[in-house]
Chains A and B, each alone.
Chain A
Amino acid sequence: MEVLFSGIIKGGLLLLDPMTLFLIMAGTVFGIVIGALPGLTSTMGVALLVPVTFGMSPAMGLALLGAIYCSSTYAGAISAILLNIPGTPANCCTMLDGYPMTQKGESGRAIALATAASAVGGFLSIFALLFLAPPLAEFALKFGAQEYFLLAIFGVSVIASLSERNMVKGLISGCLGLFLSIVGMHPLTGDVRFTLGIAELYDGLPLVVALIGLYSIPEVISILESKQEKVKQSWSVGRGVFTQMMEIFKHKILLFRATVIGIIVGIIPGAGCSIASFVAYDDAKRFSKNPSMFGKGSPEGVIASETANNAVVGGSLVPALTLGVPGNAVSAVLLGGLMIHGLKPGPALFIENSAIVYCFILSLFVSNLVFVPVGLFIARYCARLIETPASILGPLVIGLAVMGSYAVNMSTVEVWIMLAIGMLGYLMKEFDVPREPLVLGLVLGSMAEGELARAMSLVHGSVSGLIHSMLTSPISLIVIGLTFLSLWQGIKKHLPS
């Protein structure tokens, strides 16, 4: 405890440097722009600025990168709410209720809720990083390949409750998502599968490209078909914003649960912000007094999703800093930034470089405070986009979708893939097939297949050996139990009463 407090004091003194505070501000603005632009992810934003930190002191460089991570994870909610295009994959769950709120004329409220929930989720997860890092990291180490596989299956089981109208269509959509995620090379054998000879698909279907196509093109068709010259609403972000933000505290238990889910999912390597937000969303729906409102503009849906995905930030840094095992892709890039500055991740980091590490952790607190006003200010102008007539907004969204999918790998082939996925998304919308299960399958599929392959190789390819191994592991049994519970909750809704 003494080491902790002396580290916090030393780190706090480093943080008070005006240049460090300026860099946190600059990183927050940059992160919000990156996060709000569809196609640009948090990972890309952090990776782009790692070389910029070479000339800085380690504390300043890490504060800058941390600010980008925090703010970009939040900012994806802005375009998810206003345009129904998630700025980053982490925010695809926010669209489910954020965009319906916009359609109802409540975009300002949705953004205020998302901002406040993101700040609370992020803030609490940094507390967890500060105080719970060592014991939580030890727990995550107990997860093996079979537990990760079961965790992915548990994530997929959420599909049952995401399919409101027709569960069979929802399950087909989820399986299609899982199938699309395995396009490309097998994680162990390296065999190339289902790529149709397209070299760009060897590494798999790019998630960002798929998300852009799936949600932007059908939405453009829908606004152009509606022939309404102005999409209803509001550039009311900023009016009564404080009261709207305070609304999240009416859902204290939801905030707490979503934060805990985000932190736990963040700690588990391989899982990420999108999984956390889907699990938290499902959990919020189960315990809500108005579950039928979910998907139709429920504030609870926005709060759950945004709290959880920002709570992943602190969680993902727990194994990254204490064990050198990144919780997700962004923390992996951050870890790279740490090592570039000569810091070696591990338990010793907190003793040998305590001032720098605690300065970094404290800078995340500051970033979570800074992105609230900055995010609301930027969102206020983004919200005006909605007032643009459909005949102008439609082509601009397609232009942005084309640019966003090109920016991922600087390849026009990926733009064609985006259009193809856009057509699939349109057909799904036309035939009333939910798109959310497909996204969930796409996010979890590669993790499920990779971990299954590893688990199978550990038991020499024996299916009975794998089942035996699962049934004798307490963690596996808990995850299996949770999966069945999740499936049953979904099926129960479709049974005649």
Chain B
Amino acid sequence: MVKNSYKKELGFSILVTLICALLVICSFSYAKESSQFPRFLTATMLALSLILLVQTLRSRPRQPEMGETDQERSSFWASQKVPFLVFFIAALYVALIPVIGYFTSTILFLVGTMTLFGRHRLFVMLGTSMIFLVVIYALFVRFLGLHLPEGMLF
């Protein structure tokens, strides 16, 4: 467990250091007057990420090296299932909005996500989705005059 947490921290520190180094390089591609503050910031971030990397390396556990077990590996991927699903479904929903319209895609998204996360009573799912859409329509469209994407449907 300790080793897993160390590996996670090490991976994070290396990733942050690489990103900061990339940002420092990018900050030099702009005119000096416009990039003084970004250069200062990215250089500070790079210095801090190096400190974090050193901190992580110094906290390396002194246990004998052991290979990662299949169980540890599978539990890591299992813990990433919900975040992956949330981002995937949300991205699909946002991508569908301009294509089939806000209202249709929202009903599909709400009913689909509720089903996926354990709600199976169609009446509750459709009822909740309809109430949500009525509130959105009343507040944003009728009252605030917001124009929602219509797409092929509505």
Contacts and interface: CB of A to CB of B under 8 A. Distances in A.
Contacts of B82: 221, 224-225
A193 B109 contact: no
B94 A395 contact: no
B117 A391 contact: yes
Interface of A: 33, 37, 48, 168-169, 171-172, 175-176, 178-179, 182, 186, 188-189, 191, 193-194, 217, 220-221, 224-225, 229, 389-392, 394-396, 398-399, 402-403, 406-407, 410, 412, 415-416, 419, 422-423, 426, 431, 448-449, 452-453, 456
Sorted nearest first, the 8 A-B pairs with minimum C-beta distance are A191-B34, A395-B113, A391-B117, A186-B34, A391-B119, A175-B45, A449-B37, A391-B118
- Looking at chain B's contact residues, is the secondary structure mostly helix, strand, loop, or mixed? helix
Contacts of B147: 410
A431 B8 contact: yes
A396 B33 CA distance: 45
Contacts of A179: 23, 38, 41-42, 45
Nearest to A401: B90
A434 B55 CA distance: 17
Given A48-B144, A168-B48, A182-B37, A419 B128 contact: no
A453 B35 CA distance: 11
Nearest to B111: A395
A213 B23 CA distance: 22
B109 to A, nearest CB: 7
- Looking at chain A's contact residues, is the secondary structure mostly helix, strand, loop, or mixed? helix
Interface centre among A179, A182, A188, A395 (most CB of B within 10 A): A395
A419 B91 contact: yes
Nearest to A450: B37
Contacts of A189: 31, 33-34
14 contacts: A33-B139, A168-B55, A179-B38, A182-B41, A189-B34, A193-B35, A217-B90, A225-B82, A225-B83, A392-B128, A402-B94, A423-B87, A426-B83, A426-B87
A406 B102 CA distance: 11
B90 A398 contact: yes
Contacts of A394: 86, 113, 117
A194 B113 CA distance: 34
B44 interface: yes
A48 B140 CA distance: 12
B12 interface: yes
B110 interface: yes
A419 B87 contact: yes
Contact of A175 (B48, B109, B146): B48
Interface in B6-50: 8-9, 12, 16, 23, 26, 30-31, 33-38, 41-42, 44-45, 48-49
A348 B91 CA distance: 55
B12 A396 contact: no
A193 B23 CA distance: 11
Given A168-B51, A179-B38, A221-B86, A389 B119 contact: yes
Interface of B: 8-9, 12, 16, 23, 26, 30-31, 33-38, 41-42, 44-45, 48-49, 51-52, 55, 79, 82-83, 86-87, 90-91, 93-94, 97-98, 106, 109-110, 113-114, 117-119, 124, 128, 132, 136, 139-140, 144, 146-149
A446 to B, nearest CB: 10
Contacts of B124: 392
Interface centre among A171, A178, A189, A403 (most CB of B within 10 A): A403
A412 B45 CA distance: 31
Contacts of B30: 191, 193
A412 B98 contact: yes
B128 to A, nearest CB: 6
Contacts of B93: 398, 402
A416 B34 contact: no
Given A175-B48, A191-B30, 14 more contacts: A168-B52, A171-B48, A186-B33, A193-B38, A194-B38, A217-B86, A225-B82, A391-B114, A399-B136, A402-B90, A402-B97, A407-B140, A431-B12, A453-B33
A172 B110 CA distance: 36
A188 B109 CA distance: 44
Contacts of B118: 229, 391
A224 B110 contact: no
Contacts of A452: 37
Contacts of B51: 168
A250 B128 CA distance: 42
A390 B52 CA distance: 36
Given A391-B119, A412-B98, A431-B12, A399 B52 contact: no
Nearest to B98: A412
Contact of A403 (B16, B44, B91, B136): B136
Nearest to A448: B37
Contact of B94 (A194, A410, A412): A412
Contacts of B48: 168, 171-172, 175
Nearest to B124: A392
Given A191-B30, A423-B87, A172 B45 contact: yes
Nearest to B9: A431
Nearest to A418: B94
